[in-house]
Amino acid sequence: MNPTRSPHRVALITGAGREKGIGAAIARRLAQVNVSLILTDLCAAPSDHPLAPQGGQWQTLQHLADELTRSADIQTLPLQVDVTDRNAIGNMIEQIQAAFGRLDILINNAGVAVGPAPVAQMDPSAWQRTLDVNLTGTFYVTQAALPMLIQTASQTGRGRIINMASLAATHPKPFLAAYAASKAGVVAFTRALAQEIAQFGITVNTLLPGDIDTDFKHWGLQLESMVRRQEYEEVLQAAIAQIPVGRLGKPEDVAAVVAFLCSEEADFITGQAINITGGRELVQATMPK
């Protein structure tokens, strides 16, 4: 399939295997504007720990791909990929080349928060795994995808990379030092890369979602309720009270910004870290003791 003759733009989205996650919402939003999709996730076995966040599952990824293929005139390709495995990433790029022959958009959405704990008690393996997925994984996938992104941009005049950071990058909470450090690294990586590849017509931006209504967020609130020794609903309402617009964000709020950044209207926006928080960063947080 020749990049100049393919009927649709093509986007790769990592971390798309959670049914109510941000990755799935981005996929549905891009499908609405006829973007063909490669949907990936680690698809690890579900954890039996009651407080462990559940990752994306292969069945969910397949279901999402089938749903979008039926509802939109696009191609989809679901793949099980570990973003910390360079060989697996290389195989993924080969499959994308064979199936689509082009890549217009990369959404680095895969992310974890392993073993939240005070720094003095943090398991070094939890620190390393968090950075491996969130920061190094973003680097690995981007580096592998760049040749195809540049090749496509040389034909179409534009390309897009959007990296998922977090409000934690600029407003870190206690017990999440590894997560915050990894997401701050994503912001710095984005700003450096944006300068390197602007010459090819490829923009690079990062998003900093705040409190988004996902299973991942509710897992974090459960942990916070344990730390604060408060009821979950009390912790949830306290979090909402610190958001000026008065609600949790929706995955679709993030997806809408992604869709804009992928459009022609965003050609002059690059190297930016964009808050999607409902104004949360404007309010002084209360911290657990």
Q: List pLDDT tens digits, range 140-184.
A: 999 999 999 999 999 999 999 999 999 999 999 999 999 999 999
Band the pLDDT of 223: cuts 50, 70, 90.
confident
User: By the 8 A CB rule, do 74 and 8 touch?
Assistant: yes
- Select from 218, 222, 224 the least CA-distant residue to 251: 218
Q: Give the pLDDT score at 220.
A: 86
Instruction: Give catalytic residues, as residue numbers.
Output: 179
For 9-26, write each residue's pLDDT tens digit: 999 999 999 989 999 999
Determine the CATH number of domain 10-280: 3.40.50.720
| CA 8/CA 238 separation, integer angstroms | 44
Buried b (16+ CB within 10 A) or exposed e, 212-235: bebebbebbbebbbeeeeeeeeeb
For 68-83, write each residue's pLDDT tens digit: 999 988 999 999 999 9
Say what percent of the chain tops pLDDT 90.
82
For 121-143, write each residue's pLDDT tens digit: 999 999 999 999 999 999 999 99
Record the tokens describing residue 256, joined without a space.
């809408």
| CA 265/CA 267 separation, integer angstroms | 6
Determine how many CB atoms are found less than 10 A away from the CB of residue 141.
26
Band the pLDDT of 5: cuts 50, 70, 90.
very low
* Residue 4 clears pLDDT 60, i.e. is over it: no
Domain boundaries defined on the chain? 10-280
* Residue 50 clears pLDDT 70, i.e. is over it: no
Q: Residue 105 phi/psi, 5° resolution?
A: -140, 135
Q: What is the pTM of this model?
A: 0.93
> Mean pLDDT over residues 220-228, rounded?
85
Say what percent of the chain tops pLDDT 70.
92
Q: Is 67 exposed, middle or buried (0-12, 13-18, 19+ CB in 10 A)?
A: middle
Residue type, 155: Q
> Mean pLDDT over residues 191-210, rounded?
98
What average pLDDT is seen over the chain?
92
Q: Give the pLDDT score at 225.
A: 86
> Mean pLDDT over residues 217-229, rounded?
86
